[in-house]
């Protein structure tokens, strides 16, 4: 990679600030030639990144490259916030707008967008900011609420679900930040609903979307339901129990199966083991297992109809 040519001015992420390049003897003409040669990519004014790093980065990683460049360019008067702070902690990016880096100006100046950066004004106390990668960043609860406020309802709930599941915040803290946010920006009408709907038991975006889809179709759910052997030993846990329909539901996805892989196993091995687990849980509970895929989440009405149809068929049998 390019950083092997001059390791000191380029950081561990492959980011090269103009000021660092100049300090090590590289002028603007050199930077321009490196960009034209495909060795560097200019990601914002005064900031470049190793072209190989940029090419292999997905949209969330590209956002973080820009965010890290911004953090290096700005002083302690700002804190990384909103979606940018959420992503820096490893939060999910599904459904989020990633084209702008967000910072909060700690001295109440701001609310403007300039050069791909949204400068938010806001009052930040000692409990609202912390340090990450040697820079100020808003705390997990505040960042989650700020991110949710900018997103459509379902992605917003998924953000809050993730923060709760990772135990980065609490429901009480989310509610507190939501009340504070609504006082300053009362136009964010969907935020209270997102907080009301969030549930830290969702272990993935897929599970969160499925839970919201079922609830939205009037189907009551019990996430992460445990099944036990007659001896009292835990037999397994399913994504959802639907108590009114007497069904268990699992969300299917390759990512989920990938998490279950053990050394030497293939995806097919995991699928066979999951099928054996499904049979066992059905035998222990007398309930039908229903599996749902990503594609079905795009048509909530058809999904709910299928789940109800399976329940009706079982009752009629």
Sheet hosting strand 78-80, strand order edge to edge: 112-114, 117-121, 101-105, 78-80, 135-138, 129-132
CATH of domain 205-316: 3.40.960.10
- The dihedral through the CA atoms of 261, 266, 269, 271 has a sign that is positive
The structural domains of the chain, with segments of one domain joined by +, span 2-55, 74-197, 205-316
Phi, psi (deg, nearest 5) at residue 205: -60, -40
Nearest-angstrom CA–CA distance, 266 and 210 = 26
| DSSP string of 194-224, one letter each residue | HHHH--TT--SHHHHHHHHHHHHTT---EEE
Sheet hosting strand 234-242, strand order edge to edge: 222-228, 234-242, 247-251, 288-292
Nearest-angstrom CA–CA distance, 2 and 31 = 12
Token pair recorded at residue 100: 């702008």
> What sections of the chain are H helices per DSSP?
18-23, 28-36, 51-55, 59-73, 82-88, 140-150, 153-165, 171-184, 191-197, 205-216, 254-260, 267-285, 300-316
- The dihedral through the CA atoms of 36, 38, 44, 48 has a sign that is negative
Nearest-angstrom CA–CA distance, 227 and 34 = 60
At residue 260, the pLDDT reads: 56
At residue 7, the pLDDT reads: 45
Digitized pLDDT (tens) for each residue of the chain, 317 residues in all = 455 555 457 899 999 999 999 998 999 999 999 999 999 999 999 999 999 999 999 999 999 999 999 999 998 889 999 999 999 999 999 999 999 999 998 876 655 677 789 998 877 788 899 999 999 999 999 999 999 999 999 999 999 999 999 999 999 999 999 998 888 776 677 899 999 999 999 999 999 999 999 999 999 999 999 999 999 999 999 999 999 999 999 998 555 555 555 666 676 777 788 889 899 999 999 999 999 999 999 999 999 999 999 999 877 65
């Amino acid at each position: 990679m390019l950083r092997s040519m001059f390791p000191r001015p380029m950081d561990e992420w492959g980011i090269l600030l103009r000021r660092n390049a100049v300090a090590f003897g590289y002028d603007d003409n050199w930077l321009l030639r490196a960009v034209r040669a495909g060795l560097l990519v200019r990601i914002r004014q005064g900031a470049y990144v190793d072209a190989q790093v940029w090419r292999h980065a997905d949209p969330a990683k590209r956002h973080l490259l820009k965010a890290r460049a911004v953090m290096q360019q700005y002083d302690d008067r700002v804190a990384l916030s909103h979606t940018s702070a959420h992503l820096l902690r490893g939060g999910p990016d599904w459904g989020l707008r990633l084209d702008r880096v967000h910072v909060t100006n700690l001295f109440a100046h701001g609310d403007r967008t300039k050069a791909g950066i949204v400068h938010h004004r806001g009052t930040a106390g000692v409990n609202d900011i912390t340090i990450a990668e040697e820079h100020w960043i808003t705390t997990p609860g505040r960042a989650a609420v700020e991110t949710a406020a900018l997103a459509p309802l379902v992605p917003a709930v998924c953000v809050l679900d993730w923060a709760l599941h990772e135990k980065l915040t609490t429901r009480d803290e989310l509610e507190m930040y939501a009340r504070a946010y609504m006082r300053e920006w009362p136009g964010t009408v969907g935020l209270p609903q997102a907080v009301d709907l969030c549930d830290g038991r969702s272990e993935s975006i897929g599970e969160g979307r499925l839970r919201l889809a079922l609830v939205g179709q009037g189907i009551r759910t019990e996430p992460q339901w445990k099944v036990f052997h007659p001896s009292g030993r835990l037999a397994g846990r399913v994504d959802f129990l639907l108590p009114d329909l007497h069904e268990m539901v699992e969300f299917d996805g390759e990512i989920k199966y990938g998490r279950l892989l053990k050394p030497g196993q293939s995806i097919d091995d995991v699928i066979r083991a999951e099928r054996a687990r499904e049979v066992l849980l059905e035998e222990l509970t007398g309930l039908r297992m229903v599996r749902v895929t990503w594609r079905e989440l795009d048509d909530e009405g058809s999904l709910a109809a299928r789940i109800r149809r399976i329940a009706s068929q079982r009752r009629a049998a």
